[in-house]
């Protein structure tokens, strides 16, 4: 799996969460729900995650190919750890947004749990499908 695929997945996940936020915003306008500042700050975490993903992509793109083997290996490990941290932050943002959205809309806790489980199932299915359709070129 290429690191660019992971970055692309993080960006797509951010877009999905942004569309979810827009959906909730439309529902709040339709039904007169008010939002406090903590909700808005929580939804703005997507911009921070996307900025971090773009910075990581730039670091990967500017990799020097004429480095020694140990420098190259250390660089790859560092970038892999950075991408895992970014994935963890992205999933944390998704879970926080889901929790805040269900609280703001007054849904029971079971809806939050169901949404989180659906997200986890889709992530696992996405990994399995990407492995199954991978072709060696």
Q: What are the pLDDT digits (tens) for 10-56? A: 888 888 888 888 887 787 777 776 656 666 676 667 777 777 777 77
Burial state string for 67-80 with b = 16 or more CB within 10 A and e = fewer than 16: eeeeeeeeeeeebe
Phi/psi of residue 20, nearest 5 degrees: -65, -40
Provide the residue ranges of all domains of the chain, joining segments of one domain with +. 3-132
- Kindly report, residue by residue over 89-102, the tens digit of the pLDDT: 777 777 777 787 78
Choose among 25, 33, 11, 17: nearest CA to 83. Answer: 11
Percent of the chain topping pLDDT 90: 0
For residue 82, CA distances in Å to 5, 16, 35, 70, 78 come to 14, 22, 33, 18, 6
- Residue 11 burial (C-beta neighbours within 10 Å; 0-12, 13-18, 19+): middle
pLDDT at position 69 is 63
Least confident of 4-8, 41-45, 61-65, 102-106: 61-65
pLDDT at position 64 is 57
């Amino acid at each position: 799996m290429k690191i660019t695929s992971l970055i692309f997945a993080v960006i797509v996940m951010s877009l999905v969460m942004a569309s979810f936020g827009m959906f909730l915003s439309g529902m709040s306008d339709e039904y007169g729900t008010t939002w406090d500042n903590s909700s808005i700050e929580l939804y703005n975490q997507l911009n921070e995650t996307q900025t971090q993903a773009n910075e990581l992509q730039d670091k990967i793109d500017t990799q020097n190919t004429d480095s020694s083997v140990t420098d190259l290996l250390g660089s790859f490990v560092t970038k892999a750890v950075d991408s895992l941290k970014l994935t963890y932050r992205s999933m944390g943002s998704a879970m926080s947004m889901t929790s805040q959205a269900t609280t703001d809309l007054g849904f029971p806790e079971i809806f939050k749990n169901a949404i989180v489980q659906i997200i986890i199932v889709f992530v696992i299915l996405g990994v399995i499908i990407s492995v199954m359709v991978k072709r060696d070129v």
